[in-house]
Structure 1
Amino acid sequence: MSQSLIGRRGLMAGGSALAAAGLIRPPGARAASQLNLVLESEVVILDPYMTTAAITRTFGFHIFDTLYAMDGQGRIQPQMVEGHTTSADRLTWTFTLRPGMKFHDGTPVTSTDVVLSLQRWMPKDALGRMLRDAHASLTTKGTLGFELVLKRPFPLVLDVLGKPNAPVPFILPERLARTPGDARITEIIGSGPFRFRPDQYRPGNYMVLEKFPDYVPRREAPDFLAGGKVVKVDSLSLRVMPDQATGATALLANEIDYQQYVPFDWIQRLERSRDIRLLSLGGLHQFQGNFRLNHAAPPFDDPAVRRVLWKLVEQNTVLQAIGIPERFRAPQCPSFWMCDAPYSTTAGAEGATFSIAEARAELARTAYRGQPVIFLEVAGSISQTAALVLVENMKAAGFTVEEQQMDWGTVLARRARRDGWSMFSVYSNGVDMLTPLTHFYVANTCADYPGWSCDPRIPALTRDFANAETPAERQRLTAEIQRLAYALTPSVMWGQFTIPAAYRTSLSGLMQSSFPIFWNVEKA
């Protein structure tokens, strides 16, 4: 049923795409040095600290900059920082910023901006909170220097400052960094390679990011999020389209240059075009799908009810229903930390075997008595298809399910409430889910984070993981944390897979990355 849903949507959208393209082209869209892009969704939340949404992170990496950054091998490299020193006892870290950096309003980047930005960011992020708890002081040392003094050694200082996981520790100008943590910034001013054009922003239609002429790139070659970010086009136009099939048709018609997520039932059609190339990724750049559960409201405030779901998800069936070709998906993966990854483990997964009959019997032994499960679904997405498969299985096991369809922006708004929803389906970049420190639904255990799952043993073990000195000790701790996570059930994985991006052959210099990155890209 789900496959035919995708097919009908593709045909309907394909037939109307050319007509729609004339409505979605903003002024100047065919400028030779403008990239016309369709990303995973519209950028709804512009404050990079206020959400873990990947689209806000993508926006953030083009507008803002970071002190350190991850390269393609997963190593942390200097970015805004020129260098640092560490005391013999590893408690005092002294950093120096690169000279000449400016914000988009023309003001110079200073150590005050850095200190205030980190102070605003740390409470928002699981790793940030660890750094906050480990540090004694964070102070400026002149215009370009700042000093971090720790209460105890914390081996992950640079990993935290260079983390690619949302919310990212982007650096804001002082006046914006002073914005209270529970309020969104009112201007979008960064020091990154592109600047936001509020006069060319039409919510629901498009936004324009313009080359920042005063950006000073590093001298090193570009390498994932690290190295020199040299902008070779004048602007980026981020288009909003009704669905992925409309985007694919616009790509074939040369209305856009790049589409982040290609509909799987359009792959063969796109591969036949001499003007289109597909970007297929593996390893750390695959995705992990999850059903996130709300522990703050019935029925999933009951751990016994939550655990029933482990018997209702068969990953291969979900990925087949979405239409993901076999070459783009991983086998059944029981690991919260991704499969074929450094911390892959099967710990705790012994009872997570698909069986509707066993799930029905297990549910009957709980206190569940038909309370509605409010399932938020992103209309027209592969996440919705994953949800449809689970909904059928849940109903067969005895759950009462109320499906509510909406766009992703509405899901983000709804999930911020503790009531009015039970679960939603989502998928995340693999680089975000590789360890207990970064996995959205494990790292935020016992934090004020949508879903509000809590087992106090997990944060304690996660701190041990952060302080572990050997790989063997970290491996042991990841297994122990996963056993607790299976019992807690903050989320249930629905599969590991790749979504290919597509771009016109007129583009060159695209990074091999699941993060859409448009510095160093040229357009012929």
Structure 2
Amino acid sequence: MNTKRTIASWIAVAGMASLLVGCSGSEPSANFDSLTVGVASVPQVLDPGQAYSRQDISIMGLASGTLTTLNDDGKGTSNGLADAIKETETDFTITLRPGLKFSDGTDLTSADIVASFEHHLADATNAFAYKFAPIKSVTAKDDLTVMFNLKRAYPSLPWILATPQAAIIPSEVIEARGEKLYETPVPTAGKFGIETVNPSEIKLTANPNYAGTKPTAKSITFKKIADSAARLAQVQGGEIDFADGVSPKVLSQLSAPLEARTTVGVNGIQTLSLNELGVLGDVNIRQAIARAINREQINKVAWAGMNVPALGLFAPSSQYSRPFLPATPELDSAKRYLAGTKCETGCTLQLIVDSTDEPSNDIAVVLQQNLKEIGITMNINKMETAAMVQRSNDADFDILVAFTYENGDFPDALLPFQLGPALQGFYTGYSSPKMNELLDQLGTTRDEARAEVVDQINTLFEQDLSLVPIAANLSSSASRVPSNIFDISPSFAYIVG
């Protein structure tokens, strides 16, 4: 698995792109039959396993027919193509809905489930292969029944089956195309099918054979408009119906027929990665930094007060949230932590930040001011995304402004990257045998047992503090259509009514 490539997409601002697309002059939707949505990026390949940005994942989610679906709040799943799911410790038996068909009208049976997961499991390029790693095999018992045999207990499997990377594809298409599977659109079992795609836009059309509630919109065109100001200008001018990702600083200026939209993510947070290979290897300095930060000020400066400060490891709206840090500075506490450290009488730290991400740059400026109050000088190094990712991989920094993201309130997919060895604790160099043991336990527990493990993870995180929480993830957009027609969920999925 290309772990670094996957996580690098979480470091950059969600949905980042690099090219500016000009205005098209298309007419706005009047009856919602067709929608045009401005986004920072569109998928450059049609493989859901190669969709890295938040917006790419959301687009592929509309086309990917999956056995389960993620609830809008991101905290549970419902049956999708599956009619019933029965589970034991290491087996999931799934019965399909009868009469399922793909978008091209061909029947969807258990053979397609088996072929799809054999492809997913064998695909060495799938950046999300770690989600499928506990699956040993998938076999068909009859046309409507499949069994997932697992290497270990895997309570999060129903969530994994709801992700776009678990899309069900016709077995005949997989067999016929082989490695060229995604060179052109494949028949889908999702709410939409992919009609056309090019570097600047992707058009989806409603799947007439979709097994769930049919969407109001018959087609959605996602236009790549890399600059957020350009996206806002186009939705203001009526050339697009929805601009995903505009600066929250301008939302208060919008007026009818435009509607400002904000969504706080249910999983993942804006964070500072603290490199433990240098002076920040001293946990007391890390604790001091965490208590010197004015998170309320950062929220006002970076997000016009529309975000929510993150005061713990989990997003504030997560069921696992346990706040322990202050929203406003506790300078006396911070200075007590600095006593006896290399920063007691002052020190200089290097911070790296993506120059294209406005909130991250705002965070850096406020952070620089905050740390000056406790005698720490922080130099801000702004750089392009590729350079920042390289510096991250090389551990060539003291502090990294980053964020983590996962589409759903399921901790066992994201935490191993934040705190485990997969990425050396999200580029911090953090290594804790006890934390690794807890992360292993997390992946096999459920319900009350899982809550107990998460509680222990929170406790250890609060002691070691390799990452410093800053704020929740915020999606801010502008829309000409009602929220029951098109919206963004707390898991950052696109909701089409």
Q: Give the TM-score range, shorter chain.
A: 0.7 to 0.9
Q: Deviations over 1:107-132 (max 9, x none)?
A: 96712333224425899559726xx4
Mapped pair 1:257 → 2:241 = yes
Q: Say which of 451, 455, 467 aligns to 1:479.
A: 455
- Between the aligned partners of 2:103 and 2:330, the Cα distance in structure 1 is 53
Residue pair 1:116, 1:178 contacting (<8 A) in 2 also: no
Q: Say which of 229, 233, 239 aligns to 2:224.
A: 239
**Which residue number corresponds to residue 36 of structure 2?**
36
Q: Say which of 190, 204, 207 aligns to 2:201.
A: 207
**Which residue number corresponds to residue 79 of structure 2?**
78
Residue pair 1:311, 1:358 contacting (<8 A) in 2 also: no
**Which residue number corresponds to residue 7 of structure 2?**
none
Counterparts in 2 of 1:247 and 1:83: CA distance versus 1, 3 Å: same
- The residue correspondences of 1:186-335 to structure 2 (distance < 5 A) are 189=186, 191=188, 192-196=190-194, 200-202=197-199, 206-211=200-205, 213=207, 216-219=209-212, 228-230=213-215, 232-243=217-228, 245-270=229-254, 273-281=255-263, 288-293=269-274, 306-325=286-305, 328-330=306-308, 332-335=309-312
**Which residue number corresponds to residue 101 of structure 2?**
101
- Between the aligned partners of 1:459 and 1:420, the Cα distance in structure 2 is 25
Counterparts in 2 of 1:411 and 1:148: CA distance versus 1, 3 Å: farther
- Between the aligned partners of 1:184 and 1:308, the Cα distance in structure 2 is 52
**Which residue number corresponds to residue 61 of structure 2?**
61
Counterparts in 2 of 1:307 and 1:316: CA distance versus 1, 3 Å: same
- The residue correspondences of 1:321-470 to structure 2 (distance < 5 A) are 321-325=301-305, 328-330=306-308, 332-339=309-316, 341-346=318-323, 354-355=330-331, 357=335, 361=339, 364=342, 373=350, 375-394=352-371, 397-399=375-377, 401-406=379-384, 410=386, 414=390, 417-419=393-395, 423-427=399-403, 432=408, 434=409, 436-439=411-414, 445-448=420-423, 451=427, 453-468=430-445, 470=447
How big is the alpha-carbon RMSD for the aligned residues of Structure 1 and Structure 2? 4.6
Aligned length: 462
Code of the residue aligned with 1:288 in structure 2: it is: I
**Which residue number corresponds to residue 146 of structure 1?**
146
Counterparts in 2 of 1:418 and 1:171: CA distance versus 1, 3 Å: farther
**Identity, % of aligned pairs?**
13
- Between the aligned partners of 1:401 and 1:454, the Cα distance in structure 2 is 26
Q: Deviations over 1:252-283 (max 9, x none)?
A: 2212211223433322321xx2212233446x
- Between the aligned partners of 1:287 and 1:251, the Cα distance in structure 2 is 28
- Between the aligned partners of 2:167 and 2:341, the Cα distance in structure 1 is 45
Moved more, 76-85 or 396-405: 396-405
**Which residue number corresponds to residue 11 of structure 2?**
none
Code of the residue aligned with 1:119 in structure 2: it is: L
TM-score w.r.t. structure 1 length?
0.71
**Which residue number corresponds to residue 49 of structure 1?**
49
**Which residue number corresponds to residue 14 of structure 2?**
none
- Between the aligned partners of 1:391 and 1:340, the Cα distance in structure 2 is 28
Q: How many Å apart are 1:209 and its aligned residue?
A: 1.9
Mapped pair 1:495 → 2:494 = no
- Between the aligned partners of 1:218 and 1:75, the Cα distance in structure 2 is 20
Mapped pair 1:25 → 2:23 = yes
Q: How many Å apart are 1:159 and its aligned residue?
A: 3.4
For 1:478, what is the secondary structure of its paired residue? helix
Moved more, 420-429 or 248-257: 420-429
- Between the aligned partners of 2:468 and 2:175, the Cα distance in structure 1 is 36
Q: How many Å apart are 1:369 and its aligned residue?
A: 7.8
Q: How many Å apart are 1:351 and its aligned residue?
A: 13
Q: How many Å apart are 1:37 and its aligned residue?
A: 1.7
For 1:335, what is the secondary structure of its paired residue? coil
Code of the residue aligned with 1:210 in structure 2: it is: L
Counterparts in 2 of 1:188 and 1:359: CA distance versus 1, 3 Å: farther
Counterparts in 2 of 1:441 and 1:392: CA distance versus 1, 3 Å: farther
Counterparts in 2 of 1:91 and 1:267: CA distance versus 1, 3 Å: closer
Code of the residue aligned with 2:248 in structure 1: it is: F
- Between the aligned partners of 1:151 and 1:170, the Cα distance in structure 2 is 21
TM-score w.r.t. structure 2 length?
0.74
Q: Deviations over 1:266-323 (max 9, x none)?
A: 22321xx2212233446x659732224566x756677666555323422112112225
Mapped pair 1:92 → 2:91 = yes
Residue pair 1:60, 1:170 contacting (<8 A) in 2 also: no
**Which residue number corresponds to residue 119 of structure 1?**
121
Q: Deviations over 1:451-496 (max 9, x none)?
A: 264423224223434444543x443322210122234444321123
Residue pair 1:97, 1:111 contacting (<8 A) in 2 also: no
- Between the aligned partners of 1:66 and 1:287, the Cα distance in structure 2 is 23
Counterparts in 2 of 1:238 and 1:488: CA distance versus 1, 3 Å: farther
For 2:412, what is the secondary structure of its paired residue? coil
For 2:85, what is the secondary structure of its paired residue? strand
Structure 1 unmatched ranges of 5 or more = 1-19, 220-227
Counterparts in 2 of 1:53 and 1:217: CA distance versus 1, 3 Å: same
- Between the aligned partners of 1:420 and 1:403, the Cα distance in structure 2 is 11
Code of the residue aligned with 2:259 in structure 1: it is: R
Q: How many Å apart are 1:61 and its aligned residue?
A: 0.5
- Between the aligned partners of 2:329 and 2:210, the Cα distance in structure 1 is 50
**Which residue number corresponds to residue 10 of structure 1?**
none
**Which residue number corresponds to residue 486 of structure 2?**
510
Counterparts in 2 of 1:171 and 1:281: CA distance versus 1, 3 Å: same
